[in-house]
Amino acid sequence: MFEKISMSSRTVRGIAFALGLSIVSLAATNALAANDKKSWLHAVAVRIAKKHVYPRAALMKEVEGKAKVRVSVGRDGTLVSYDIVQPTGQKLLDRELPKMMKRIDPLPKPPAGLSDSDLTFVIPVSWSLD
> Given this model, what pLDDT does residue 23 score?
36
Which of 46, 40, 39, 58 is closest to 96 using CA atoms? 58
Run means of pLDDT, 10 residues per run, the chain, 130 residues: 47 60 42 80 95 96 98 97 98 97 97 93 94
- Residue 6: which domain range? 2-127
Structural domain count of the chain? 1
Q: How far is residue 121's CA from residue 123's CA, in Å, rounded to a whole number? A: 7
> Given this model, what pLDDT does residue 34 score?
73
The backbone region for 77, taken as left when phi is positive above 0, alpha when psi lies in -120 to 50, beta otherwise, is left
- CATH (domain of 73): 3.30.2420.10
> Given this model, what pLDDT does residue 70 score?
98
> Given this model, what pLDDT does residue 33 score?
67
